[in-house]
């Protein structure tokens, strides 16, 4: 079973700062990592798919990178509305399933 | 506009069952792989089940295999999740989500339906 581990668990930064969120897989995975943002009481929203492609309507300050076992979501200049929990996700082909990291809570001071 | 609307959640006793529905609109439903993902109170996201576009292939997390059944009716643009032998650790919000075409990500999510398991 491939496990996704996100770090840090919590991140507290100020507006305008850069946020770097990590997602590490327990073994090498294909470059099909996605990132989601979830605010309280809301469904998750797709931010990044296929490691580095921004979903429709996602601001350019969100970017994704990585390969192998290490993947990163970067928010270049934080806005107050970026306060949320962020999850990474990957898909396993045999047997078919998807899995999520445990999440990183981002707080904007 | 793509919309996914879940329903069917509620309060059920341990060992009970429910049928969750997800009505889709705004896209060619029969062309997309669909998933159910759940979230226990205060916890993270957990994959539950997936179904191919024509309904011919289904997939389940080990934690629900044998107890849950996913199905779809493409003529009604609806995906279902029959949840049975419910336990307290099945409690949470159940989301349906659409797999993005050509990707392994989930690009549209419903608002979720809450399942509460309690005696």
Q: Does B106 touch chain A (CB under 8 A)?
A: yes
Contacts A85 to B, Cβ<8 Å = 44
pLDDT of residue B117: 97
pLDDT of residue A91: 84
Q: Does B45 touch chain A (CB under 8 A)?
A: yes
Q: Name residues whose C-beta falls within 8 Å of residue B65's C-beta, 6 or more positions apart in sequence.
A: none
Is residue B61 within 8 Å of B48, Cβ to Cβ? Answer: yes
Contact across the interface for B105 and A100, Cβ inside 8 Å: no
CB pairs under 8 A between A and B: 69
Instruction: List, for chain A, all residue ranges whose pLDDT scores fall below the cut of 50.
Output: none
pLDDT of residue B83: 98
Antiparallel, parallel or unpaired: β B113-117 and B92-99: antiparallel
For A26-63, the DSSP string reads: SS---S--EEEEE-TTS--EEEEETTTEEPTT--TTEE
- What is the nearest CA distance from B17 to chain A, expressed in angstroms? 23
Contact across the interface for A99 and B47, Cβ inside 8 Å: yes
Contacts B92 to A, Cβ<8 Å = none
Contact across the interface for A89 and B61, Cβ inside 8 Å: no
Contacts A46 to B, Cβ<8 Å = 100, 105-108
Is residue A62 within 8 Å of A56, Cβ to Cβ? Answer: no
pLDDT of residue A94: 64
pLDDT of residue A1: 77
Chain segment B11-51, per-residue pLDDT in tens: 999 999 999 999 999 999 999 999 999 999 999 999 999 99
pLDDT of residue B102: 87
pLDDT of residue A95: 65
* Residue of A25, A33, A36, A46 best to disrupt the B interface, most CBs of B under 10 A: A46
Chain segment B64-114, per-residue pLDDT in tens: 999 999 999 999 999 999 999 999 999 999 999 999 998 889 999 999 999
pLDDT of residue B104: 86
């Amino acid at each position: 079973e491939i496990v996704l581990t996100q770090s840090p668990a919590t991140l507290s930064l100020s507006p305008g700062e850069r946020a770097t969120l990590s997602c590490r897989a327990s073994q090498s995975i294909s470059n099909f990592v996605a990132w989601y943002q979830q605010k309280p009481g809301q469904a998750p929203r797709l931010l990044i798919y296929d490691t580095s492609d921004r979903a429709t309507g996602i601001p350019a300050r969100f970017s994704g990178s990585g390969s192998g076992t290490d993947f990163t979501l970067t928010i270049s200049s934080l806005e107050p509305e970026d306060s949320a929990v962020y999850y990474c996700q990957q898909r396993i082909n045999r047997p078919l399933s998807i899995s999520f990291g445990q999440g990183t809570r981002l707080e904007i001071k | 506009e793509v919309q996914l609307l879940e329903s069917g959640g509620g309060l059920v006793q341990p060992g009970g069952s429910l049928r969750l529905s997800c009505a889709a609109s705004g896209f060619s439903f029969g062309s997309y792989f669909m998933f159910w993902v759940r979230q226990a109170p205060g916890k993270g996201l957990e994959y539950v089940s997936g179904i191919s576009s024509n309904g011919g292939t289904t997939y389940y997390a080990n934690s629900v295999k044998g107890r849950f059944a996913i199905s779809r009716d493409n003529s009604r643009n609806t995906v279902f999740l029959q949840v049975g032998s419910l336990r307290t650790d099945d409690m949470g919000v159940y989301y349906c989500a659409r797999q993005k075409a050509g990707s392994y990500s989930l690009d549209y999510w419903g608002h979720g339906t809450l399942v509460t398991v309690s005696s």
